[in-house]
Amino acid sequence: MKAAGSGQPPGGGPFRVRRGAPSFTLVEVVLAIGIISFCLIMLVPLIAVGMNTDRMVRQQIIGLSLCRQIESDLRATAPGTNASPLYGIPIPGVGGTVTATLYDSYATSATNFGLTRQSASQYLFTIILTGPVATSPNDPVNAQIQASWPAQITPIPQGNPTNVVGSVNLDVAIDRFGS
């Protein structure tokens, strides 16, 4: 049905342009796209920071988990035994102090520890064990277990390697007498 004398359907047809209708100009659209692009470009460095933080946290979790394995080995040492059963870490007697260095070695998705650094070693473990004092021979053995990475760093005395990327420490008391 057409309007009388106009040749157009009522309402102006599908392509009718109304003057004064609210809309965005090309300049406003280009400006909005520019602002959004600038904001996205500013977020790109944050992605790199987030990925680096994720990597560091993952290394800390793995290092602490491996320290807990060493702790479990030390706790499994029977009273009167001078070395841990799994990794052979020497246990000091009354008034003694022992420092041991271990490296992790990955083989067939299982982690083992050894005295020498392997090509696949990622962590260096420094274990400082302090036996009970002579006046209290039944006190626990104190263990300071430090994991540091990368494993290629040579340890220095007191378990404080230099030039490490990261490290975690675990201090535990190991009851050797079941009291």
User: For 115-129, what is each residue's pLDDT tens digit?
Assistant: 777 777 888 899 999
pLDDT, one tens digit per residue, over 16-56 is 656 666 788 899 999 999 999 999 999 988 998 999 999 99
Q: How many domains is the chain built from?
A: 1
pLDDT band, residue 8 (cuts 50/70/90): low
Which domain, by its residues, includes 116?
47-174
- Token pair listed for 167: 């490290």
Is there a domain that residue 73 lies in?
A: yes
Domain-embedded: residue 167: yes
pLDDT in tens, 76-134: 988 888 899 988 999 998 889 999 988 887 655 666 777 777 777 888 899 999 998 88
In a domain, 14, yes or no: no
Q: Considering the domain boundaries, does residue 122 fall inside one?
A: yes
Would 133 be classed as within a structural domain? yes
User: Model's pTM, two decimal places?
Assistant: 0.70
Q: Which residues contact 77 (CB under 8 A, 6 or more apart)?
A: 83, 84, 85, 91, 174, 176
Compute the Cα dihedral for 166, 171, 176, 179 and give only its sign.
negative
In a domain, 34, yes or no: no
